[in-house]
Amino acid sequence: MEIIIQPGPKAGSEIAARIIGRLLREKPDAVLGLATGSTPLLLYGELVRLHREERLDFSRVTTFNLDEYVGLPPDHPQSYQTFMRENLFHHINVPKERIHIPDGMAQDIPSFCREYEERIRAAGGIDLQVLGIGTDGHIGFNEPLSSLASRTRIKTLTEQTRRDNARHFGNEGQVPHHVITMGIGTIMDSRMCLMLAFGLKKAQAVAGAVEGPITAMNPASILQMHPVAKIVLDEAAAQRLIKVDYYRWVYDHKPPWQRF
Protein backbone atom coordinates (compact mmCIF):
# COMPACT_ATOMS: atom_id res chain seq x y z
CA MET A 1 0.00 0.00 0.00
CA GLU A 2 1.13 3.50 -0.68
CA ILE A 3 -0.30 6.07 1.72
CA ILE A 4 -0.44 9.62 0.35
CA ILE A 5 -1.42 12.25 2.92
CA GLN A 6 -2.34 15.69 1.66
CA PRO A 7 -3.43 18.86 3.49
CA GLY A 8 -7.00 18.68 2.21
CA PRO A 9 -9.41 16.99 -0.23
CA LYS A 10 -8.52 19.36 -3.08
CA ALA A 11 -4.80 18.53 -3.02
CA GLY A 12 -5.58 14.82 -2.64
CA SER A 13 -8.04 14.88 -5.54
CA GLU A 14 -5.51 16.65 -7.76
CA ILE A 15 -2.98 13.90 -7.12
CA ALA A 16 -5.60 11.23 -7.87
CA ALA A 17 -6.47 13.03 -11.12
CA ARG A 18 -2.80 13.14 -12.09
CA ILE A 19 -2.48 9.40 -11.48
CA ILE A 20 -5.46 8.80 -13.79
CA GLY A 21 -4.16 11.36 -16.30
CA ARG A 22 -0.80 9.61 -16.44
CA LEU A 23 -2.49 6.24 -17.02
CA LEU A 24 -4.60 7.63 -19.87
CA ARG A 25 -1.59 9.19 -21.53
CA GLU A 26 0.29 5.90 -21.34
CA LYS A 27 -2.75 3.80 -22.25
CA PRO A 28 -5.45 5.84 -24.03
CA ASP A 29 -7.81 2.84 -24.16
CA ALA A 30 -7.57 2.15 -20.42
CA VAL A 31 -10.46 0.62 -18.52
CA LEU A 32 -11.44 2.70 -15.50
CA GLY A 33 -13.47 1.51 -12.54
CA LEU A 34 -15.40 4.43 -11.11
CA ALA A 35 -17.02 5.26 -7.78
CA THR A 36 -19.81 7.59 -6.65
CA GLY A 37 -20.51 9.46 -3.40
CA SER A 38 -19.17 12.74 -2.07
CA THR A 39 -15.54 11.60 -2.04
CA PRO A 40 -14.75 11.52 -5.80
CA LEU A 41 -16.56 14.78 -6.62
CA LEU A 42 -13.42 16.93 -6.59
CA LEU A 43 -11.52 14.25 -8.48
CA TYR A 44 -14.14 14.25 -11.24
CA GLY A 45 -14.08 18.06 -11.30
CA GLU A 46 -10.33 17.91 -11.80
CA LEU A 47 -10.61 15.30 -14.57
CA VAL A 48 -13.10 17.56 -16.33
CA ARG A 49 -10.64 20.45 -16.01
CA LEU A 50 -7.81 18.30 -17.40
CA HIS A 51 -10.07 17.31 -20.29
CA ARG A 52 -10.96 20.93 -21.06
CA GLU A 53 -7.65 22.64 -20.42
CA GLU A 54 -5.07 19.95 -21.09
CA ARG A 55 -6.98 17.88 -23.64
CA LEU A 56 -7.06 14.74 -21.54
CA ASP A 57 -8.77 12.37 -23.94
CA PHE A 58 -11.40 9.84 -22.88
CA SER A 59 -12.54 8.87 -26.39
CA ARG A 60 -11.05 5.35 -26.15
CA VAL A 61 -11.64 4.83 -22.44
CA THR A 62 -14.07 2.21 -21.12
CA THR A 63 -15.68 2.66 -17.69
CA PHE A 64 -17.34 0.35 -15.20
CA ASN A 65 -19.05 1.76 -12.13
CA LEU A 66 -18.90 -0.04 -8.83
CA ASP A 67 -22.53 -0.06 -7.85
CA GLU A 68 -26.13 1.11 -8.15
CA TYR A 69 -29.25 1.12 -5.99
CA VAL A 70 -31.78 -1.58 -6.81
CA GLY A 71 -35.12 -0.14 -7.86
CA LEU A 72 -33.94 3.29 -8.97
CA PRO A 73 -34.47 4.01 -12.66
CA PRO A 74 -31.54 5.59 -14.55
CA ASP A 75 -33.12 9.05 -14.53
CA HIS A 76 -33.89 9.05 -10.78
CA PRO A 77 -32.11 12.05 -9.20
CA GLN A 78 -30.29 9.80 -6.72
CA SER A 79 -29.37 7.01 -9.12
CA TYR A 80 -25.69 6.57 -9.78
CA GLN A 81 -26.45 6.86 -13.49
CA THR A 82 -27.61 10.43 -12.82
CA PHE A 83 -24.64 11.10 -10.53
CA MET A 84 -22.11 9.98 -13.14
CA ARG A 85 -23.83 11.83 -15.97
CA GLU A 86 -23.97 15.09 -14.04
CA ASN A 87 -20.56 14.96 -12.41
CA LEU A 88 -18.40 13.41 -15.10
CA PHE A 89 -19.75 11.83 -18.27
CA HIS A 90 -21.64 14.87 -19.49
CA HIS A 91 -18.42 16.93 -19.33
CA ILE A 92 -15.88 14.61 -20.97
CA ASN A 93 -15.69 12.75 -24.27
CA VAL A 94 -16.16 9.16 -23.16
CA PRO A 95 -18.45 7.44 -25.70
CA LYS A 96 -21.80 6.37 -24.27
CA GLU A 97 -21.40 2.80 -25.48
CA ARG A 98 -18.23 2.41 -23.41
CA ILE A 99 -19.93 3.40 -20.13
CA HIS A 100 -21.15 0.61 -17.86
CA ILE A 101 -23.15 1.10 -14.67
CA PRO A 102 -25.04 -1.71 -12.93
CA ASP A 103 -28.72 -1.67 -13.89
CA GLY A 104 -30.76 -1.10 -10.75
CA MET A 105 -33.89 -2.05 -12.69
CA ALA A 106 -32.59 -5.41 -13.95
CA GLN A 107 -35.35 -8.04 -13.79
CA ASP A 108 -32.99 -10.96 -13.41
CA ILE A 109 -30.31 -9.62 -11.08
CA PRO A 110 -28.10 -12.75 -10.87
CA SER A 111 -27.82 -13.02 -14.65
CA PHE A 112 -27.26 -9.27 -14.96
CA CYS A 113 -24.40 -9.58 -12.45
CA ARG A 114 -22.83 -12.49 -14.33
CA GLU A 115 -23.02 -10.46 -17.52
CA TYR A 116 -21.41 -7.44 -15.83
CA GLU A 117 -18.48 -9.60 -14.77
CA GLU A 118 -18.25 -10.99 -18.30
CA ARG A 119 -18.18 -7.48 -19.76
CA ILE A 120 -15.35 -6.47 -17.46
CA ARG A 121 -13.41 -9.56 -18.58
CA ALA A 122 -14.20 -8.91 -22.24
CA ALA A 123 -12.90 -5.34 -21.89
CA GLY A 124 -9.58 -6.76 -20.71
CA GLY A 125 -10.09 -6.15 -16.98
CA ILE A 126 -9.99 -2.91 -15.03
CA ASP A 127 -6.71 -1.00 -15.18
CA LEU A 128 -7.48 1.40 -12.35
CA GLN A 129 -10.32 1.23 -9.85
CA VAL A 130 -11.32 4.40 -8.01
CA LEU A 131 -12.67 3.68 -4.52
CA GLY A 132 -14.16 5.57 -1.62
CA ILE A 133 -14.55 3.97 1.81
CA GLY A 134 -17.67 3.83 3.94
CA THR A 135 -17.60 4.74 7.63
CA ASP A 136 -18.03 0.98 8.17
CA GLY A 137 -15.08 0.15 5.90
CA HIS A 138 -17.12 -0.85 2.86
CA ILE A 139 -15.66 -0.56 -0.65
CA GLY A 140 -18.21 -0.44 -3.42
CA PHE A 141 -21.23 -1.47 -1.41
CA ASN A 142 -19.46 -4.48 0.04
CA GLU A 143 -20.62 -4.12 3.60
CA PRO A 144 -18.82 -5.68 6.60
CA LEU A 145 -18.75 -9.49 6.41
CA SER A 146 -18.98 -9.45 2.61
CA SER A 147 -16.95 -12.35 1.30
CA LEU A 148 -13.46 -11.11 0.52
CA ALA A 149 -13.69 -13.23 -2.67
CA SER A 150 -17.15 -11.96 -3.72
CA ARG A 151 -18.13 -11.08 -7.28
CA THR A 152 -20.78 -8.66 -8.59
CA ARG A 153 -24.07 -9.39 -6.84
CA ILE A 154 -26.98 -7.96 -4.87
CA LYS A 155 -26.22 -6.75 -1.32
CA THR A 156 -28.30 -5.42 1.55
CA LEU A 157 -27.09 -2.11 2.98
CA THR A 158 -26.36 -1.76 6.69
CA GLU A 159 -28.35 0.76 8.69
CA GLN A 160 -25.12 2.75 9.12
CA THR A 161 -24.69 3.11 5.36
CA ARG A 162 -28.35 3.98 4.85
CA ARG A 163 -28.00 6.67 7.56
CA ASP A 164 -24.77 7.97 5.95
CA ASN A 165 -26.47 8.23 2.55
CA ALA A 166 -29.77 9.66 3.82
CA ARG A 167 -28.40 13.18 3.24
CA HIS A 168 -28.77 12.64 -0.51
CA PHE A 169 -32.35 11.37 -0.27
CA GLY A 170 -33.91 13.79 2.20
CA ASN A 171 -34.60 11.08 4.76
CA GLU A 172 -33.43 7.59 5.61
CA GLY A 173 -36.76 6.02 4.70
CA GLN A 174 -36.12 6.88 1.05
CA VAL A 175 -32.74 5.12 0.87
CA PRO A 176 -33.10 1.75 -0.88
CA HIS A 177 -32.18 -1.33 1.13
CA HIS A 178 -30.65 -3.22 -1.78
CA VAL A 179 -27.86 -2.51 -4.22
CA ILE A 180 -25.92 -4.21 -6.98
CA THR A 181 -22.20 -3.97 -6.32
CA MET A 182 -19.01 -5.28 -7.84
CA GLY A 183 -17.62 -7.83 -5.41
CA ILE A 184 -14.43 -7.56 -3.43
CA GLY A 185 -12.89 -10.22 -5.68
CA THR A 186 -13.91 -8.12 -8.70
CA ILE A 187 -12.25 -5.03 -7.21
CA MET A 188 -9.12 -6.97 -6.29
CA ASP A 189 -8.75 -8.14 -9.92
CA SER A 190 -8.17 -4.57 -11.08
CA ARG A 191 -4.56 -3.74 -11.84
CA MET A 192 -4.45 -0.69 -9.59
CA CYS A 193 -6.71 0.43 -6.74
CA LEU A 194 -6.87 4.13 -5.95
CA MET A 195 -8.79 4.72 -2.73
CA LEU A 196 -9.65 8.22 -1.54
CA ALA A 197 -10.85 9.15 1.94
CA PHE A 198 -11.43 12.62 3.32
CA GLY A 199 -12.66 13.90 6.66
CA LEU A 200 -12.55 12.85 10.30
CA LYS A 201 -15.54 10.58 10.01
CA LYS A 202 -13.50 8.25 7.80
CA ALA A 203 -10.46 8.16 10.13
CA GLN A 204 -11.43 5.03 12.02
CA ALA A 205 -12.35 3.00 8.93
CA VAL A 206 -9.10 4.14 7.27
CA ALA A 207 -6.99 3.14 10.27
CA GLY A 208 -8.62 -0.31 10.27
CA ALA A 209 -8.14 -0.69 6.52
CA VAL A 210 -4.49 0.41 6.46
CA GLU A 211 -3.07 -0.76 9.78
CA GLY A 212 -5.61 -3.22 11.15
CA PRO A 213 -5.85 -6.94 10.48
CA ILE A 214 -7.27 -8.09 7.16
CA THR A 215 -10.84 -8.85 8.05
CA ALA A 216 -14.24 -8.99 6.38
CA MET A 217 -15.36 -6.72 9.24
CA ASN A 218 -13.47 -3.96 7.42
CA PRO A 219 -13.71 -4.87 3.73
CA ALA A 220 -11.22 -2.17 2.66
CA SER A 221 -8.54 -3.98 4.68
CA ILE A 222 -8.30 -6.49 1.80
CA LEU A 223 -6.41 -3.78 -0.11
CA GLN A 224 -3.39 -4.76 2.01
CA MET A 225 -3.27 -7.81 -0.28
CA HIS A 226 -3.41 -5.76 -3.49
CA PRO A 227 -0.06 -5.36 -5.26
CA VAL A 228 -0.76 -1.75 -6.34
CA ALA A 229 -3.03 0.06 -3.89
CA LYS A 230 -2.67 3.80 -3.47
CA ILE A 231 -4.56 5.40 -0.58
CA VAL A 232 -5.02 9.18 -0.82
CA LEU A 233 -6.03 10.86 2.45
CA ASP A 234 -6.46 14.32 3.85
CA GLU A 235 -5.04 15.14 7.30
CA ALA A 236 -8.36 14.46 9.01
CA ALA A 237 -8.83 11.00 7.50
CA ALA A 238 -5.20 10.15 8.39
CA GLN A 239 -5.61 11.20 12.01
CA ARG A 240 -5.80 7.73 13.53
CA LEU A 241 -2.90 6.19 11.65
CA ILE A 242 0.07 5.16 13.76
CA LYS A 243 2.87 5.13 11.19
CA VAL A 244 1.90 8.47 9.73
CA ASP A 245 5.42 9.95 9.92
CA TYR A 246 6.79 7.05 7.91
CA TYR A 247 4.13 7.46 5.19
CA ARG A 248 4.95 11.16 4.91
CA TRP A 249 8.67 10.51 4.72
CA VAL A 250 8.24 7.91 2.00
CA TYR A 251 6.06 10.23 -0.07
CA ASP A 252 8.37 13.24 0.38
CA HIS A 253 11.40 11.22 -0.69
CA LYS A 254 10.04 9.51 -3.75
CA PRO A 255 12.53 9.42 -6.60
CA PRO A 256 11.53 11.87 -9.35
CA TRP A 257 10.39 9.09 -11.74
CA GLN A 258 7.86 7.89 -9.16
CA ARG A 259 6.26 11.29 -8.53
CA PHE A 260 2.82 12.17 -9.82
List interacting residues with ligand PGA (CB under 6 A).
37-39, 132-134
Query: Rounded distance, CA 145 to CA 151, Å?
Result: 14
Shortest reach from residue 202's CB to ligand PGA, in Å: 7
**Pair type for strands 153-156 and 178-181:** antiparallel
Q: Is 138 assigned a catalytic role?
A: yes
- CB count within 10 Å of CB 246 equals 11
* C-beta closer to ligand PGA: residue 160 or 215: 160
Shortest reach from residue 196's CB to ligand PGA, in Å: 8
Q: Is 67 assigned a catalytic role?
A: yes
Instruction: Indicate which residue of 46, 117, 136, 164 is catalytic.
Output: 136
Q: Is 189 assigned a catalytic role?
A: no
Q: Is 143 assigned a catalytic role?
A: yes
Shortest reach from residue 105's CB to ligand PGA, in Å: 22
**Rg of the chain's alpha carbons, rounded to an integer?**
17
* C-beta closer to ligand PGA: residue 23 or 197: 197
* C-beta closer to ligand PGA: residue 87 or 224: 87
Question: DSSP E strands: which ranges in 83-236?
Answer: 99-100, 128-131, 153-156, 178-181, 193-197, 229-234
The residue with its CB nearest to ligand PGA is 37
- β partners of residue 3: 231
**Pair type for strands 99-100 and 62-65:** parallel
Instruction: Indicate which residue of 14, 46, 67, 127 is catalytic.
Output: 67
SS3 label, residue 38: coil
Active site residue ranges: 67, 136, 138, 143
